[in-house]
Each structure stands twice: as structure tokens, then as C-alpha cells.
């Protein structure tokens, strides 16, 4: 079996939607999704959420040859989106989205269960490194902390921190538990990367102290962000193909040709501040 994994990355920070784009996008998603997106205080978060939904629906449409509006999406107990009544071609399709920093990301596969996480490699506002690390101390094992703190510079430590964090997030998404799965039960052995590396596929994991090679991990280092993907293959014959993280823009996606009927949906969005402090 060869991988049919789809990996899409949308730079939402550079998307300044026109009224037509926003209303076409709004017409693509469900009323529940529209209401949830309208509740965001900042444009940044609304764009993140809508971009994730558009990528999902665009991929579903390409697989099924149906319109992107024609899919009902719900969330499970851990908040992961799913199709309650998938068409035959999506019966065993696993997908996941994440967003942070400047990007929203989508991953989907017919070959097993997937999880994805993206983070920008930066320190949170008004927080020093030691305070930040102390708040996260219980999320990593002593060996992981040794790797995180190994670089002599702050940026190197943040890079190793977010590699581990994104891998853990993608892992618990793939297994379907969310963060209620004790993160110290998972210990990653990070694959070696160079200063100019853009991806890594050699990271391994131990679960409850035992190395488990049934998982496939992909990491991408792009534009100051880290994307981590976990795949639990559905076949022991799984063969990973060349990785392909595809950068997409609004016009690359399959979106409704019709405008949502209420123009205030865009004007209410357009009045909002882009992000805190901006």
C-alpha cells in the first residue's frame, strides 16, 4: 500500500478576504460553522477556522466529485471534526486540521488515522523562557527536557520544545483521545535535523516506556513554524511515499460559486481587529 496522504498549508495571515471571497466561503460551510466563526473576536481566529473548514471541504469535494457545500460535519468528544454520514469514497478517510501563528493546516489519508499540529516557534507574549518552561514542566519526560534544553541559545531550545509539543499534539489527535491522554506516557526521540532542514521523518516514540514503531511521524519546518503529522497506518504493508506539504491559497480551494445571502456577515468580520495588540 502506498500513501495517499494529503497535506495542505494555508497562510491565513496573508489572506485579506474580499467581500466576495468571505461570502462565498461562508456559503460553503454549514450554518453551525458560520455561527461559530462569527463568534471569534479577532479576524485572525476567524480566518484560521474558516480556512480549515474550506480545506476539509475542498478535499472532500475532490475525492467525491461533489460540491463542497454537500457535507455534514460534526465534532467528537475531543473536538475532532468528523463526517457522521460519509459517502462511500470517504468511509475510511481520516482527516485533521490545526492552526496557529500564520497558518492553518489540513492532513487527510485513506491509509490510517491521522493527527496534525502546527505551532510558530516563538515565545508567548510577556513571558520569559524559564517561566514558560516551568508552566509546561509536567508535559514532558526528563529525557525530553534534556533534549529541549540542550541547545545553548533560546531559539534552539524553543525549536526543540515545539518539535516535541507538536508531535505530542498530533499523536493524541491521531489516537483520538485529545490531551486527556497523559503526555508523559509518550516520549519522543527526535530525529536529527540540520540547520537548513525542511523536514524530518526519522523521529520515533516510546509509549509507557516501550518503543512503538507502529506510528509514522512527519515533521516540516517552514517559515518559522513547525508542522507535525502522526499517522497510524491501517496496514502493516504501509509504504510512505515522498512527502509533499502543499502551500495553498484561497483560489486553489474548491469553494461555493454563490455568495452567502447576508452581506453583514462580511461587514461584521471586516470591522474586527486582526489580532490582539494589532
Please check whether residue 190 is in contact with residue 199, taking contact to mean a CB–CB distance below 8 angstroms.
no
Please check whether residue 194 is in contact with residue 213, taking contact to mean a CB–CB distance below 8 angstroms.
no
Supply the pLDDT for residue 176. Answer: 85
| pLDDT, tens digit (0-9, with 9 covering 90-100), for 75-88 | 887 778 899 999 99
Give the C-alpha distances (Å, rounded to integers) separating 109 from 92, 172, 268: 9, 17, 36
Give the C-alpha distances (Å, rounded to integers) separating 208 from 8, 142, 188, 248: 32, 14, 11, 38
Tell me which residue of 49, 51, 50, 69 sits closest to 60, measured CA to CA.
Answer: 69
Supply the pLDDT for residue 183. Answer: 86
Supply the pLDDT for residue 79. Answer: 75
For the chain, first and last CA: distance in Å? 48
Q: Is 203 helix (H, G, I), strand (E, B) or coil?
A: coil
| pLDDT, tens digit (0-9, with 9 covering 90-100), for 122-148 | 997 778 999 999 999 999 999 999 999
Say whether pLDDT at 242 is over 70: no
Supply the pLDDT for residue 1. Answer: 34
Say whether pLDDT at 240 is over 80: no
Say whether pLDDT at 177 is over 90: no
Supply the pLDDT for residue 3. Answer: 46
3-state DSSP of 70-107: CCCCEECCCCCEECCCCCHHHCCCEEEEEEECCEEEEE
Amino acid at each position: 500500500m502506498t500513501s495517499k496522504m494529503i497535506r495542505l498549508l494555508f497562510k491565513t495571515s496573508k489572506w485579506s478576504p474580499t467581500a466576495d471571497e468571505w461570502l462565498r466561503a461562508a456559503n460553503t460551510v454549514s450554518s453551525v460553522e458560520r455561527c461559530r466563526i462569527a463568534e471569534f473576536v479577532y479576524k485572525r481566529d476567524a480566518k484560521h477556522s474558516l480556512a480549515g473548514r474550506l480545506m476539509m471541504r475542498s478535499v472532500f469535494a475532490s475525492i467525491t466529485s461533489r460540491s463542497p457545500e454537500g457535507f455534514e460535519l460534526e465534532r467528537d468528544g475531543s473536538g475532532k471534526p468528523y463526517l457522521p454520514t460519509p459517502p462511500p469514497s470517504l468511509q475510511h478517510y481520516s482527516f485533521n486540521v490545526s492552526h496557529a501563528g500564520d497558518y492553518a493546516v489540513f492532513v487527510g489519508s485513506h491509509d490510517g488515522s491521522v493527527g496534525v499540529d502546527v505551532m510558530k516557534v516563538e515565545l508567548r507574549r510577556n513571558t520569559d523562557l524559564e517561566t514558560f518552561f516551568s508552566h509546561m514542566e509536567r508535559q514532558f519526560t526528563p529525557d525530553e527536557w534534556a533534549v529541549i534544553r540542550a541547545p545553548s541559545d533560546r531559539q534552539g531550545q524553543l525549536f526543540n520544545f515545539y518539535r516535541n509539543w507538536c508531535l505530542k499534539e498530533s499523536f493524541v489527535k491521531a489516537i483520538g483521545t485529545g490531551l486527556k491522554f497523559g503526555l508523559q506516557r509518550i516520549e519522543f526521540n527526535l530525529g536529527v535535523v540540520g540547520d537548513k532542514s525542511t523536514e524530518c521523518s526519522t523521529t520515533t516514540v516510546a509509549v509507557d516506556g516501550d518503543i512503538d514503531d507502529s506510528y509514522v511521524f512527519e515533521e516540516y519546518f517552514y517559515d518559522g513554524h513547525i508542522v507535525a503529522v502522526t499517522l497510524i497506518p491501517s496496514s502493516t504493508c504501509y509504504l510512505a511515499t515522498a512527502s509533499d506539504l502543499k502551500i495553498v491559497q484561497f483560489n486553489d480551494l474548491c469553494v461555493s460559486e454563490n455568495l452567502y445571502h447576508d452581506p453583514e456577515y462580511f461587514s461584521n468580520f471586516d470591522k474586527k481587529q486582526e489580532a490582539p495588540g494589532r
